[in-house]
């Protein structure tokens, strides 16, 4: 439809029909399905009456249901305005790839885009028009369960990967039936809740907000994202969904966002609970004044918005502007011409879990695993006769992580299946040993596990946290291994030193004692559908680990927050990180630095950083500094290395980080091969937000380094004139 036709459609709509376009309901109110919801139950609505004017739904199961929803609605709507069908497609639909936090450890924008492209094909066949993805909240506290859903503690990584997802998912033409619109979330600073508790308040200076939390959302907006979702939390006292500065000033005026804003699940209604709205009607007013276009469930808009317009409290002009944004999105998707978009039962069968998608998922799981420690144990020899597979994840299919689809585990390749696929002749013995649930103190299986370890040539210990102990609403005050898993690890490793530990988890875990005793430690996160095959190939060397930590792993929860790009105090702790130093910024009972730092990760080969060079000693504001890093594979295996480029502003008007990642590239080298990795550093990368909340760069001396946080290998200085 033309814009003129959309305006004519809008002019012919009743007030109730306009309001209906701004209402989203669970699909289960109109059709029977088994999809779960991520908020409180109790949505009360006259389903058939609402179906007549409804604008969008979420949580449906397949193409058949998508078509049924659309058919039922179009038959009831006199204007025949199609529904928007939305879904959380976070790390795959049927073919599940690693959780976003793991994908961040890949340091590979192209791989992230490839996985998102796979998800796009499956989701569009299912009938999805909008995915609530990417989530690019900067998160630096492992207590917060939704850290698994973001990519990194570094906003630049979140922004690059988020933008890559937006571009590949939306494509060049949203009307293409295989393309779907992206809703970026959760705007803003949702990943910094007080005490790490989900939904909790955030108090933060505007300077810190603009420097560390807003950039990733803006990167996705600049990439063309068509929707954005305000966060649940109150930001500096104002819940995001009612925050006019955040949404009207920054999002729409400063960034020029012209797309649709949709609340999170019942976030409008929760304004009453948060104490900024007197009642539901007042909540509807506040959200509309802040520019929230769609109310996700609980029907606050449906019940009160028309009345607010009739009373003149909300202008019809504001209502029309919101409705037009929704209509334009539907038009961009081509729904007026093809309301079913890409929904196809035949295509579902063709693309769901197809060999190409499984191969992509397996490769992603291999390249996002992080080898934390290896004392010559890995890779295992392929001629091992007897393998002991021990731990609560030894035979589990629950290796996908939060936000995987209901029933996803039935398609997951288990560890025994993956090992047998690779080594069909080897004898494999499995013992659970103990459980992984919080509070599970049953030690009854440990003795059998120890016996199996003693009799084996190689031992795999699969431990971690249950997949639904991280995710939305899954905050933890203690981020150590749950239950008696540490006791199991101690006994098994003592019984057989040829043991490799696999960690399955959705958040950084504090495992200092495990790290001390484990001969080999491989962080797998939640690897997804191809978990077992990926693990086997990594353990036996068919795949070489190349992941780098996109978030540091703590010694203890007491270190949080512990951003890698920390600043110095006037009394920084000098020397090695160990014993406390009086009257310096340090802990009396532990180190300052993480157990494993941001950017860290080992390989089965060895890379040497031979030289760091710049093409000049100073640059002007219009110049570009050419940086080259010479890297050599000094080991005996082909491998991939992520070359990380860090910046330090030596003197500035505000305290600046001692290290700030500004770029990265992943390269693959054969044994003995040498390459030069080149970067361009511009004045824009030297900017920061000053005390007056202006983005500036200041003349002076800078350092450029490569390595990883807390271990910078090579450094050179240059000057900005």
Q: Where are the beta strands (DSSP E) in 458-519?
A: 458-464, 499-504
Average pLDDT by consecutive 10-residue portion of the chain (721 residues)?
96 97 92 63 62 94 96 96 98 98 98 98 98 98 98 98 98 98 98 98 98 98 98 98 98 98 98 98 98 95 97 98 98 98 98 98 98 98 97 98 94 98 97 97 98 98 97 97 98 98 98 98 98 98 98 97 95 85 93 97 98 97 97 98 98 97 98 98 98 97 97 97 95
Q: Which of 546, 570, 596 is the last residue of a domain?
A: 546
How many independent structural domains does the chain possess? 3
The catalytically annotated residue of 264, 282, 293, 649 is 264
Asked if residue 378 and residue 339 are part of one domain, the reply reads no
**Domain-located, residue 357:** no
Q: What is the pLDDT at residue 41?
A: 53
Q: Residue 243 maps to which CATH number?
A: 3.20.20.300
Report the 10 Å Cβ neighbour count for 355.
7
Q: What is the pLDDT at residue 38?
A: 57
Residue with token string 């490769």: 363
Residue 46, helix vs strand vs coil: coil
Angle, alpha carbons 370-191-95 (nearest 5°): 50
Asked if residue 375 and residue 289 are part of one domain, the reply reads no
Asked if residue 389 and residue 254 are part of one domain, the reply reads no
Assess whether the previous peptide bond of 204 is cis (omega < 30° from 0).
no
Asked if residue 330 and residue 374 are part of one domain, the reply reads no
CB 95 within 8 A of CB 139: no
CB 373 within 8 A of CB 518: yes
**Domain-located, residue 418:** yes
Residue 95 C-beta-side C-alpha neighbours within 13 Å: 30
Q: Residue 703 maps to which CATH number?
A: 2.60.40.10
Q: Return all residues near 344 (Cβ < 8 A) that are at least 6 apart.
A: 63, 125
Asked if residue 307 and residue 196 are part of one domain, the reply reads yes
Asked if residue 221 and residue 161 are part of one domain, the reply reads yes
Q: What are phi and psi of 662, to 5 degrees?
A: -120, -10
Report the 10 Å Cβ neighbour count for 468.
15
Helices 485-495 and 446-454 pack at an angle, to 10 degrees, of 20
CB 305 within 8 A of CB 284: yes
**Domain-located, residue 631:** yes
| C-alpha pair distances (Å), 195 with each of 85, 233, 385, 473, 561 | 35, 13, 49, 13, 10
**Domain-located, residue 49:** no
Residue with token string 């990594």: 538
Helix (H) or strand (E) holding 372: strand 370-374
- Which residue range forms the structural domain that includes residue 713? 607-720
- The closest of 115, 136, 126 to 87, measured between CA atoms, is 126
**Domain-located, residue 44:** no
Asked if residue 639 and residue 523 are part of one domain, the reply reads no
**Domain-located, residue 66:** yes
Asked if residue 390 and residue 335 are part of one domain, the reply reads no
Burial 285-299 (b: 16+ CB within 10 A, else e): bbbbbbbbbbbbbbb
With the CA atoms of 225, 229, 233 and 236 taken in that order, what torsion angle do they form, in degrees rounded to the nearest 10? 60
**Domain-located, residue 684:** yes
CB 135 within 8 A of CB 103: no
Q: Is 567 exposed, middle or buried (0-12, 13-18, 19+ CB in 10 A)?
A: exposed
**Domain-located, residue 600:** no
Q: Which of 501, 516, 546 is the last residue of a domain?
A: 546
- The closest of 96, 104, 206 to 153, measured between CA atoms, is 104
Asked if residue 178 and residue 253 are part of one domain, the reply reads yes
Q: How far apart are CA 571 and CA 582, in angstroms?
A: 10
Its pTM surpasses 0.95: yes
Q: Residue 429 maps to which CATH number?
A: 3.40.50.1700
Asked if residue 390 and residue 271 are part of one domain, the reply reads no
Q: How far apart are CA 644 and CA 660, in angstroms?
A: 10
Q: Which tokens sit at 381?
A: 């020899």
- Residue 264 among the catalytic residues: yes
Q: How far apart are CA 145 and CA 118, in angstroms?
A: 26
Asked if residue 197 and residue 141 are part of one domain, the reply reads yes
Asked if residue 343 and residue 378 are part of one domain, the reply reads no
Q: Which of 546, 565, 586 is the last residue of a domain?
A: 546
Rg (CA), the chain: 26
Measured in whole angstroms, how far is the alpha carbon of residue 286 from the centre of its chain?
A: 29
Measured in whole angstroms, how far is the alpha carbon of residue 669 from the centre of its chain?
A: 29
Q: What is the pLDDT at residue 578?
A: 76
β-pair partners for 706: 645, 714
Question: What is the C-alpha end-to-end distance of the chain, expressed in Å?
Answer: 53
β-pair partners for 167: none
Residue 719, helix vs strand vs coil: strand
């Amino acid at each position: 439809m033309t814009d003129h036709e959309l305006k004519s459609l809008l002019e012919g709509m009743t007030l109730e029909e306009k309001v209906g376009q701004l209402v989203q309901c669970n699909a289960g109110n109109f059709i029977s399905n088994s999809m779960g919801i991520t908020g409180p139950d109790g949505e009360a609505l006259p389903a058939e009456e609402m179906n007549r004017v409804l604008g969008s739904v979420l949580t449906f199961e397949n193409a058949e249901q998508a078509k049924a929803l659309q058919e039922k609605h179009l038959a009831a709507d006199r204007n025949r305005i199609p529904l928007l069908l939305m879904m959380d497609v976070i790390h795959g639909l049927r073919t599940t790839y690693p959780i976003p936090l793991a994908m961040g450890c890949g340091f590979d924008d192209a791989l992230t885009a490839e996985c998102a492209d796979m998800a796009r094909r499956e989701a569009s066949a299912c009938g999805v028009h909008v995915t609530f993805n990417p989530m690019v909240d900067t998160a630096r506290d492992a207590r917060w369960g939704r850290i698994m859903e973001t990519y990194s503690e570094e906003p630049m990584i979140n922004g690059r990967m988020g933008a890559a997802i937006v571009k590949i998912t939306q494509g060049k033409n949203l009307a293409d039936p295989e393309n779907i619109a992206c809703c970026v979330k959760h705007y803003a600073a949702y990943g910094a809740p007080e005490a790490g508790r989900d939904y909790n308040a955030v108090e933060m200076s505007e300077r810190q907000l603009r420097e560390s939390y807003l950039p990733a959302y803006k990167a996705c907006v600049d990439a063309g994202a068509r929707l954005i979702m305000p966060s649940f939390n109150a930001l500096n006292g104002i819940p995001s969904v009612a925050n006019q500065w955040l949404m009207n000033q920054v999002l729409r005026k400063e960034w020029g966002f012209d797309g649709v804003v949709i609340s999170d699940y019942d976030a409008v209604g929760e304004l009453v609970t948060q104490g900024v709205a007197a009642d539901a009607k007042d909540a509807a007013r506040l959200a509309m004044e802040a520019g929230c276009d769609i109310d996700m469930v609980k029907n606050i808009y449906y019940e009160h918005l028309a009345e607010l317009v009739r009373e003149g409290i909300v202008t019809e002009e504001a209502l029309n502007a919101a409705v037009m944004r929704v209509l334009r999105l539907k038009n961009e998707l081509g729904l007026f011409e093809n309301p079913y978009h890409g929904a196809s039962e035949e295509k579902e069968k063709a693309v769901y879990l197809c060999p190409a998608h499984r191969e992509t998922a397996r490769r992603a799981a291999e390249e996002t695993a992080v080898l934390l420690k290896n004392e010559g144990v890995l890779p295992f020899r392929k001629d091992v006769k007897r393998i002991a597979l021990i731990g609560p994840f030894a035979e589990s299919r629950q290796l996908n992580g939060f936000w995987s689809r209901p029933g996803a585990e039935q398609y997951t390749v288990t560890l025994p299946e993956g090992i047998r696929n690779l080594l069909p002749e080897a004898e494999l013995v499995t013992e659970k040993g103990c459980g992984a649930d919080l509070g599970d103190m049953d030690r009854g299986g440990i003795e059998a596990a120890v016996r199996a370890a003693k009799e084996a040539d190689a031992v795999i210990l699969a431990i971690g946290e249950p997949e639904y102990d991280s995710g939305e609403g899954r905050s933890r005050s203690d981020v150590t291994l749950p239950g008696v898993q540490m006791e199991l690890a101690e006994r098994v490793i003592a019984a057989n030193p040829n043991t490799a530990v696999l960690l399955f988890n959705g958040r950084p875990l504090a495992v200092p004692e495990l790290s001390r005793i484990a001969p080999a430690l491989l962080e797998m996160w939640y690897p997804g559908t191809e978990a077992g095959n990926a693990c086997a190939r990594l353990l036996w060397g068919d795949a070489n680990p190349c992941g780098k930590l996109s978030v540091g792993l703590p010694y203890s929860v007491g270190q949080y927050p512990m951003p890698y790009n920390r600043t110095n105090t006037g009394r920084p702790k000098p020397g090695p990180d160990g014993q406390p130093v009086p009257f310096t910024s340090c802990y009396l009972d532990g180190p300052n630095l993480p157990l494993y730092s941001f950017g860290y990760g080992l390989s089965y080969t060895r890379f040497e950083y031979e030289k760091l060079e710049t093409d000049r000693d100073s640059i002007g504001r219009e110049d570009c500094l050419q940086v080259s890093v010479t890297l050599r594979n000094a080991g005996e295996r082909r491998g991939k290395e992520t070359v990380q480029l860090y910046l330090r502003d030596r003197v500035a008007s505000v305290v600046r980080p001692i290290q700030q990642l500004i770029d990265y590239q992943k390269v693959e080298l054969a044994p003995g091969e040498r390459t030069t990795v080149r970067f361009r550093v511009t004045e824009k990368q030297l900017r920061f937000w000053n005390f007056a909340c202006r983005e500036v760069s200041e003349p002076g001396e800078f350092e450029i380094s490569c390595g990883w946080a807390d271990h910078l290998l090579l450094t050179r200085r240059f000057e900005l004139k």
